[in-house]
Copies of this chain bind each other. A is one copy, B any other.
Amino acid sequence: MKLKIDYSVYLVTDTGFLQGRDFAACIEAALKGGVTLLQYRDKNADSRVLLERALLLKKMCAVYHVPLLINDRLDIALAVQADGVHVGQSDLPVTVVRRLLGEQAVIGASAHNPEEARQALADGADYLGCGAVFGTTTKNDAGYLGLDGLQCIRQAVTAPLVGIGGVNSTNFEQVLQTGANGAAIVSGILAADDIEAEVRKFKTIADRYKNI
């Protein structure tokens, strides 16, 4: 049976916000705080480094019973037996990922409008990452969607979706108010001085919403 996912507090990794702190220690703090889903995203490292970090995350996620998805790199996902893959519009097509990973894998796709959202789901995606909801510096090429745009996609599809882009513990509730199932968070968690405590703030807010 397919893994049941809690998309509410979805951490996407980025080493750029760690300010010299240890990668594994920061991710473990986030897992302790209660992130519900983890995506390993790293667009720059060599494959060997990607593999080593993904293996480390896989072990940590197993301890905390948190599913692990890999951004873009289906080979890394296969190598570490991750729970799935997240693909953007310039990554491998959802149809190809589904064919190679099988029906049980969790496949997410980025969508910036209702048309992309419907297409991704028709192609076999399990959930959608929609953004940028707020101004963000994480991905320079991410188009701005806004809360209105997110709500527009929410009304167009019934599949799980998360908002991404500039989400922090202050604006997280606005994302949930659109009917989104959660948010994919990068700097909103990883740039915090106390990562574990920051994740707990998200958890407290998420606990109040039934769309999760």
Interface residues of A (CB under 8 A from B): 46-49, 51, 72-75, 78-79, 87, 89-93, 96, 100
Contacts and interface: CB of A to CB of B under 8 A. Distances in A.
A47 B46 CA distance: 14
A73 B100 CA distance: 14
A51 B96 CA distance: 10
Contacts of A87: 47
B79 A100 contact: yes
A38 to B, nearest CB: 20
Nearest to A78: B100
Nearest to A87: B47
A28 to B, nearest CB: 25
Contacts of A100: 75, 78-79
Contact of A48 (B48, B75, B92): B92
Given A48-B93, A51-B92, 8 more contacts: A47-B91, A47-B92, A48-B90, A48-B91, A74-B78, A74-B79, A78-B100, A79-B100
18 contacts: A46-B91, A47-B73, A47-B87, A47-B90, A47-B91, A48-B89, A48-B92, A48-B93, A49-B90, A51-B93, A73-B75, A74-B78, A75-B75, A75-B78, A75-B92, A78-B78, A78-B100, A79-B92
